[in-house]
Structure 1
């Protein structure tokens, strides 16, 4: 696993060889996941290709190496959803896209995000800071705060919901 993190980090920082190796190593996992998410084999193949292209183009925007898998699988889900909507003649955005955040200037959104984090109760603020800012793993947070892994995940989930509510208001 450590080797994979090194590979992801090198790819994020522009190492083309590392990126190509990362894509080659990730493709079987992406394909397996796409086959569970997409309606048919051709859709799964299309979703895999689109996912690999998006990872190739946007790997530099990945903020934490530990979120690589979740990021890639979110791309696969979005692509399968897009393909399904296209096949059924639907063009609306999927329900997890929030138009309220799309058109906001980055500095305004950043200031609002900081305010949202500061508005959290201490126990939620500390898990968000450890996870999303200091990039601790779930296990590291559990040890640091003397919580179970499930407790950490629950607090992170609740904190993110509170942040979303704050930003939507």
Structure 2
């Protein structure tokens, strides 16, 4: 999204609930949202639906976005998530319910599960593996991990989230 097209004043006014600013923000963001949806979704119908849903979510949630810097990334992630949701709905992307995946994991023999968890852990890239080891095995806090790695809290939290997602994906395949 073109950050230059949306002024910080317009964004802030919309965020604070000004109806005219909200209408202007939606009108300004719409072409970029549609373009990104067309590039991301699997069909033109899905792209249109994803763009409409993203605009609706923007309308409802703009007040929760605290920074103009986070706006574009947040909005594009909404569009991407909507495209994925629509693809799953029609069966183009497999969907595994978390409860089904958890039940399948718990039904396995404990020895097999331990081996699979160890293999998932070993499959992680080293920078993710370190964070999981420190947090889940050594039970260190986010701040302690950040200090140990010389990284920010946000970096540690992002790595931990991504590492757990990769392990979950590995285990549910």
How many aligned positions are there? 118
Maintained 8 Å contact 1:34/1:48: yes
Deviations 1:16-38 (A, max 9, x none): 21111011000000000000111
TM-score in terms of structure 2 length = 0.58
Which whole-Å CA distance do the structure 2 matches of 1:69 and 1:48 have between them? Answer: 14
Which whole-Å CA distance do the structure 2 matches of 1:84 and 1:3 have between them? Answer: 30
Question: In structure 2, what is the equivalent of residue 124 of structure 1?
Answer: 151
1:63 shift after superposition:
2.1
Structure with the greater alpha carbon radius of gyration: 2
Instruction: Pick one of 47, 53, 58 that aligns with 1:55.
Output: 58
Q: Which runs of 5+ in 1 are unaligned?
A: 95-114, 129-155
Moved over 4 A (4+): 162-166
Deviations 1:38-74 (A, max 9, x none): 1111110000000000000011111221110000000
Which whole-Å CA distance do the structure 1 matches of 2:144 and 2:13 have between them? Answer: 33
Which whole-Å CA distance do the structure 2 matches of 1:163 and 1:85 have between them? Answer: 22
TM-score in terms of structure 1 length = 0.59
Question: In structure 1, what is the equivalent of residue 16 of structure 2?
Answer: 13
Which whole-Å CA distance do the structure 2 matches of 1:40 and 1:2 have between them? Answer: 27
Compute the RMSD of aligned alpha carbons. 2.9
Question: In structure 1, what is the equivalent of residue 169 of structure 2?
Answer: none
